[in-house]
Amino acid sequence: MKPAFFMIRSLLATTVLVCLAAALGADDEHLTITAEATATQPPIPITLVGYTGEAESVLRFDLYVAGFKLVGGNESPQYELKGANNGQVEGRLTDAINKTVKFAKAFSGGTTRSQAHALADAVVQAVTGVAGIAGGKIAFKVQRNGTTGPGEVYVADYDGHNATAVTHDNAIVADPCWIPGRRALIYNTYKFGNPDIIMHDLSTGARSVVARYAGSNISPAASPDGRHVAMILSKGGSPDVYVANIDGSGLRQLTHTPEDESSPCWSPDGRWICFATRMEHRRVLAKISVDGGAVRRITANLGINPTEPDWSPDGKQIAFTSQAGKYFRICVVPAQGGDARILADGQDPAWAANSRTLIFNRMVGGRSVLSLLDVPTKQNKDVPLTIGNCSQPSWAK
Amino acid sequence: MKRATFLSYLVAGTVLTLVGAGCKHPQTPVTPIPAAKTIRVPGPSNPVVNNAGGNVNPGTAGTVAPPENPNANQVKNVAAGGGQEGSLADIEGMTPDTNHFAGQTVHFDFDSFVVKTSEHANVEAVGDELKAKPEDKLMIDGHCDERGTEEYNRALGERRALALREYLVRYGVAPDRVFTRSFGKDMPVDPGHNEDAWAKNRRGEFILLLPKQ
């Protein structure tokens, strides 16, 4: 059981699932990805004993999203989490097979929810050796009427609780991105009549301009060290990738193509920018060094119109959106290139710090909802939010 | 099955003995959780600050002065196809007339920013008027259909607006009079989900900018 579990990290090394590119039309422009990624790992059976109400529902949600399977009755658990939530959340994690106690912890302060999140993260850390994400926060966009037009930027716990509007601009907003290491966001707003990029300090409420040049200033992405921003500006005559210091100073143009580059993201070492563009008449994902140089295509076939790449924090894979008719698919490809595989229906994926949980948005009954996917087990939960159409999620890191 | 049940009783019993019903084991360490930090939200009238110069645009109820670009002078615009010579400050205060060129709206093919031959007359009509009215300027809004992701469409819409701008500049309109912006797929004229609607939504709109009175 355990050795199998610790193979999460080699998820991509297992190229068992071959991507078959099937030509839909006569030309090779319509290559589509057909290989579905199956689960590479079974969920870990765990049983909860002694929890009630909010604490129990938080633990169930968090552990499911982290790749655990909540069992009871006849099914044998691999772990047992036993404790209580009378005043404070506490728990003892026992290996149900060899009877060893992994930990006993209690939590004080915060709220019942935050204590339960902390307990869930302690379980994940103890079992997988990787920090949990249940205490994490997200930023995203909310549109009250439909999925076009004005919206506001929100922040919330990763499970959608404590959702708070951080803008009241009644304007088109787009692509909020948390600046790593800071309580600050960078996003695109049309509030001043033009698509501009601004930075927003959540502690003070202060906002400042990062890019407001003639043309469109869009798709900001903060670097992993929080000190730089990659973005798409059209001031040079075509939408190109630029990088700058996070306050907008020190601007440098990276790409010089007549095509429309879009949705840049950073490699975790901060040395590469991956983005969507067109090369040889095909929509592709490509990368360029932050020092400039040649634009390099990521891999041969990423399906129809691959966009919105997001590089996993461990550097191994790039999640992106591919198109299938009117629908969108979340796909993943090894960062060094290779075969792409379909993970789920949805768009705009973002990796959590654990390099195994993706958050993205998908359409459910005509409404756009945020959704969490544990890639190794393929366990999936929609984020329960009822404040409108939610999209473009970004993790606080 | 019996064995599993027996085991779970055994485990439960062991833990009960250790933890005790409802009371903490004396050695269970307690981890304090910090209280949630306050998030400060700017109101609609709060100013947006210029990073470089430290200029604060005074916020007034209901409206906010558009901020200057803090880094406007630091970068030369150089690229194939010509950079945007104008600055947004040049059109501040001008009055937009969205109806004037409504009949000249240009439509594009799927995933394309090529200005089709059938659309040339529209662009040239706009160019002729601009040449005749040297005080006026032009904003071109690029739009897309709903297919494709949001940021992809935002870039494509901008590329369409720029293709129209390039046409006008070649036609003889001064480049510092023509501005572009993209609305991606955020402002469809037809909310339908079929080719008819998509064809209408893939467009470039010309907005005449009249001088300050």
Cβ contacts of A4 within 8 Å, gap of 6 or more: A41, A42
Rounded distance between C-alpha atoms, residue A32 and residue A321, angstroms: 12
Between positions 359 and 388 of A, the ones with CB within 8 A of B are none
Q: What is the mean pLDDT of residues B158-178?
A: 97
Higher pLDDT, B38 or B14: B38
Rounded distance between C-alpha atoms, residue A46 and residue A290, angstroms: 45
The pairing of strands B48-50 and A207-211 is parallel
- B33-44 per-position pLDDT tens digit: 887 777 777 765
Asked if the A44-128 domain carries CATH number 3.40.50.2000, the reply is no
3-state secondary structure A160-179: CCCCEECCCCCECEEEEEEC
Which CATH number fits the domain that encloses residue B131?
Answer: 3.30.1330.60
Q: How many angstroms away from the CA of B41 is the closest CA of chain A?
A: 5
| pLDDT for residue A328 | 94
The pairing of strands A357-364 and A68-70 is unpaired
Please state which CATH class domain A137-395 belongs to: mainly beta
Positive or negative: CA dihedral A116, A117, A122, A123: positive
The strand order across the sheet containing B30-33 reads A68-70, A44-49, A79-84, A90-95, A101-109, B30-33
User: What is the CB neighbour count within 10 angstroms for residue A112?
Assistant: 16
Most A CBs within 10 Å: which of B17, B110, B186, B207, as the mutation test of the A interface?
B186
Q: Is B81 part of any domain?
A: no
Question: What are residue B141's phi and psi, to 5 degrees?
Answer: -100, 125
Q: Is B10 part of any domain?
A: no
Q: Which amino acid is at A226?
A: G
Q: Is B3 part of any domain?
A: no
Higher pLDDT, B9 or A153: A153
Candidate from A96, A118, A215 with C-beta closest to B181:
A215
Between positions 96 and 135 of B, the ones with CB within 8 A of A are 111, 113
Q: Is B161 part of any domain?
A: yes
Q: Is residue B117 scored above 80 in pLDDT?
A: yes
| pLDDT for residue B68 | 59
Subunit contact A251:B71, Cβ cutoff 8 A: yes
3-state secondary structure chain A: CHHHHHHHHHCCCCCCCCCCEEECCCCHHHEEECCECCCCCCCEEEEEECCCHHHHHHHHHHHHHCCEEECCCCCCCCEEEEEECCCCCEEEEEECCCCCEEEEEEEEECCHHHHHHHHHHHHHHHHHCCCCCCCCEEEEEEECCCCCCCEEEEEEECCCCCCEECCCCCECEEEEEECCCCCEEEEEECCCCCCEEEEEECCCCCEEEEECCCCCEEEEEECCCCCEEEEEECCCCCCEEEEEECCCCCCEECCCCCCCCEEEEECCCCCEEEEEEEECCEEEEEEEECCEEEEEECCCCCCEEEEEEEECCCCCEEEEEEEECCEEEEEEEECCCCCCEEEEECEEEEECCCCCEEEEEEEECCEEEEEEEECCCCEEEECCCCCCEEEEEEECC
Subunit contact A307:B149, Cβ cutoff 8 A: yes
| pLDDT for residue A393 | 98
The answer to whether the CB of A231 falls within 8 A of the CB of A186 is: no
Cβ contacts of B128 within 8 Å, gap of 6 or more: none
Q: Which amino acid is at A108?
A: S
| pLDDT for residue A73 | 77
Name beta bridge partners: A289.
A272, A292
| pLDDT for residue B18 | 42
The answer to whether the CB of B151 falls within 8 A of the CB of B191 is: no
ipTM of the complex model = 0.90
CA B178 vs. chain centroid, Å, equals 19
Q: How many angstroms away from the CA of A188 is the closest CA of chain B?
A: 11
Between positions 108 and 167 of A, the ones with CB within 8 A of B are 108-111, 114-115, 118, 146, 148-149, 155, 162, 164-167
Q: Is residue B45 scored above 80 in pLDDT?
A: no
| pLDDT for residue B49 | 64
Q: How many angstroms away from the CA of A166 is the closest CA of chain B?
A: 5
Positions of chain A with pLDDT lower than 50, given as ranges: 1-30
The chain A residue lying nearest B31, using CA atoms, is A107
3-state secondary structure chain B: CHHHHHHHHHHHHHHHHHHCCCCCCCCCCEEEECCCCCCCCCCCCCCEEECCCCCECCEECCEECCCCCCCCCCCCCCCCCCCCCCCHHHHCCCEEECCCCHHHCEECCCCCCCCCHHHHHHHHHHHHHHHHCCCCEEEEEECCCCCCCHHHHHHHHHHHHHHHHHHHHHCCCCHHHEEEEECCCCCCCCCCCCHHHHHHHCEEEEEEEECCC
CB contacts of A206 in chain B (<8 Å) are 42, 49
Question: What are residue B33's phi and psi, to 5 degrees?
Answer: -100, 125
Number of domains present in the structure of chain B: 1
Q: Where are the domains of chain A?
A: 44-128, 137-395
| CA B131 to each of CA B67, B127, B159: distance values in angstroms, whole numbers, following the listed order | 30, 6, 24
Higher pLDDT, B65 or B34: B34
The pairing of strands A327-334 and A317-324 is antiparallel
| pLDDT for residue B83 | 65
Q: Is B108 part of any domain?
A: yes
> To the nearest whole number, what is the mean pLDDT of chain B?
79
| pLDDT for residue B22 | 43
| pLDDT for residue B42 | 72
Q: Is B185 part of any domain?
A: yes
Most A CBs within 10 Å: which of B6, B110, B181, as the mutation test of the A interface?
B181
| pLDDT for residue B65 | 53
Subunit contact B7:A76, Cβ cutoff 8 A: yes
Q: Is B56 part of any domain?
A: no
Q: Is B64 part of any domain?
A: no
Domain enclosing residue B165, as ranges:
88-210
Q: What is the mean pLDDT of residues B19-39?
A: 67
User: What is the CB neighbour count within 10 angstroms for residue A165?
Assistant: 15
